[in-house]
Structure 1
């Protein structure tokens, strides 16, 4: 029977873990190390105008004031705070959402809306086992609501339970083919190596549209990222531009345009766009990309400044109990000076979240410490689904070369460059050099 992994069975879902900001759940603790991160976040907040989502929060507060014993009203407020957190990356909104969902569940422990909201919040905080438990409770109460399966599938993916996630998304699509389901289909196809099938599903997701303009534009940007990943820079640039036309100064779209500029070697323009984006919402991914672009442009000093800011943000996470796991390990493996610490972080992340991405980070961390044989085995694990991701293929190729497997190294490095010869301002040239070295 065809499934969502077959293109002729086009079914859908919102992009996996849509804009789950890494800043979830901390409060602003000020130390000498974290002060730069706090200053950047507060400066960004001061630039943001009152918008549609702010009005939704005001309306939800009014609803709670009018009906304080209504679980539904508290759930609406929690969801409004979640959307505000998505659009601003202000972590205090996660705490407010948590309070609202807990109040709703105190009033009605069988509130499916509150369980879905609490599950979505758990995803944002990277508490994936908790999210799965909350989603499952909601499903048992009402198995006909598509959003329930979105929470379940997202948690299953982040726990490395891919076959179960496929089944959950298939159910979601069968119930309602829309932006939320089509985008989840796209993500599962992408990690299984079907980039064109993922593009097809995201095209359907964008056409379907979401309940908020930001939802639709986020998925549109993911479509641009897929075109970028497959080497179509012109189409990617066009899509990012379309998103900005619909939602001016939209941060993910600015990031996308910066990525295209950097791929073309237009570093000054890329830096300007990344700085514009990070000034408005200082997300670690944007700051890392800015640092890498400075590094590619030959400005190691400015690159180091950006990497140190990321480290300050990570300290805020740790000080407030936020689990960034794979993201922290990946940053340490790519840019950290302490290879042993990076390896320890990667091992811990891989144990808690045995995903292909955690395996990729662990493999690269092992390679950096000289554990080549173990790295080769873990790299095979990372690529076991056939994922066509240039960075993962580059890592796997370099590791295979170090392990003496020239044929596998050549296959992976060629695949990385065939997908997009300029997939990274730093790694693309290294991939080409590694491939050339195989013939010497």
Structure 2
């Protein structure tokens, strides 16, 4: 009989491809190298070409889209995966993340509750923490992230990630020593772990140790030259007196981020507002809001409008950024500075005082601007 027989079981082949894709995704998270994401995408698409109903490959493409800030695409893949296997928890992390980034907070809350009910683990508790932080419940956010840490995980990078999230939450709460402990615990688990290094650099910068912070951020940028890291480094270099170097970085980053389309629009709007063309920042901010109408895009658009000479409009958007009850000190600072520029002195004092109430040194960039504005208002 000359009838051809399959030599490799198709499902085993698909499983190997999705495992390869997930491994590349993890390496991309750890290194920031987009080449890993490209290889992950190729593996997931090859898996789907052999089994278009494979849930793991569909979730993988959704996770990849989230990492690239393609939030609507991520949501589409997550919904497709959920439709394929409604009882599985695997699509839920992407569903929750995409709904949050798209500003669908009520929907995200319901999805997140289902995720916790299905599997109360590191991934679900970490998202509960972020959701509570968005709504201003910092104590609840800290409690949830501690549950995530207690739940543990098989991947050291994931555990270091939630330790770094604890550091972030403690910093926002004004508990600088606890934040430092959390970041150092993350580094003990994963040497030179970038989110923890960034957190320590922010703490050092806020405490006035600018050269130490610059050194740390240069190490970060060598490891992961992501836009937010390069901009943070340039801001610290400017504060530390390296003005020409900072300007070159700002200009280069504006060009780089402009070529990525809408992927980095929130960051680009803030960058253009303070270190580029404020009128262009407004256009980019509007584009960011249309793509993902979240509190983060509202904050960026509000600040762009203020810097472009439209502080009353900026304040309106700044208030929208605070609509969930966020206690993010940078959001409060920008809303307060917008109010001051708009002549709304009582509103300005309220927001500005709230921004430094928990930690007067929350940011080497924004805290001095807040103090100067409050002095002018007095």
Give the TM-score taking structure 1 as reference length: 0.81
- Among 251, 266, 269, the alignment partner of 1:329 is 269
In 2, are the aligned partners of 1:333 and 1:339 still within 8 Å (CA)? yes
CA distance in 2, matches of 1:215, 1:313: 29
Q: Which has the higher contact order (CA 8 A, sep 6+)?
A: 1
Shift of the alpha carbon at 1:139?
1.1
Which runs of 5 or more structure 1 residues have no equivalent in the other structure? Answer: 1-64
Among 121, 133, 141, the alignment partner of 1:190 is 133
Does 1:75 pair with 2:18? Answer: yes
1:405 corresponds to 2:344:
yes
Deviation at 1:66, TM superposition (A): 7.1
1:167 Cα offset (Å): 0.5
| Matched residue, 2:285 | 346
| Equivalences for residues 17-416 of structure 1 within 5 A | 70-314=13-257, 317-318=259-260, 323-336=263-276, 338-416=277-355
How far apart, in 1, do the equivalents of 2:266 and 2:94 lie? 20
CA distance in 2, matches of 1:212, 1:310: 32
Mapped contact 1:180–1:210 kept (Cα < 8 A): no
Moved beyond 3 Å, runs of 4+: 65-69
Q: Distance in 2 between matches of 1:192 and 1:232?
A: 19
What is the CA distance between 1:210 and its match in structure 2?
A: 2.4
Secondary structure at the aligned position of 1:131 is classed as helix
Report the CA distance between 1:68 and its aligned residue. 6.6
Q: CA deviation at 1:166?
A: 0.5
CA distance in structure 1 between the aligned counterparts of 2:8 and 2:39, rounded to whole angstroms:
19
Task: Compute the displacement of 1:377 (Å).
Answer: 1.5
What CA distance in whole angstroms lies between the structure 1 residues aligned with 2:252 and 2:362? 24
Q: CA deviation at 1:403?
A: 2.3
Tell me which protein shows more helix as a share of its residues: 2
Alpha-carbon distance in structure 2 between the residues aligned to 1:333 and 1:71: 47
Larger deviation, residues 391-400 vs 299-308: 299-308
1:435 aligns with 2:374: yes
Give 5+ residue unaligned stretches, structure 2.
Answer: 1-6
Please report how far the alpha carbon of residue 237 of structure 1 lies from its aligned counterpart in structure 2 after TM superposition. Answer: 1.2
CA-to-aligned-CA distance 1:9-58 (integer Å, 9 cap, x gap): xxxxxxxxxxxxxxxxxxxxxxxxxxxxxxxxxxxxxxxxxxxxxxxxxx
Distance 1:192 1:248, change over 3 A: same
**Distance across 2 between alignment mates of 1:147 and 1:385:** 28
Partners in 2 of 1:277 and 1:401 — Cα distance? 35
Contact 1:191 1:386 in 2 (8 A): yes
TM-score with structure 2 length normalisation?
0.94
Deviations 1:299-341 (A, max 9, x none): 21232233234235425x43xx6722222222222322x1111
Using the alignment, how far apart are the partners of 1:394 and 1:272 within structure 2? 26
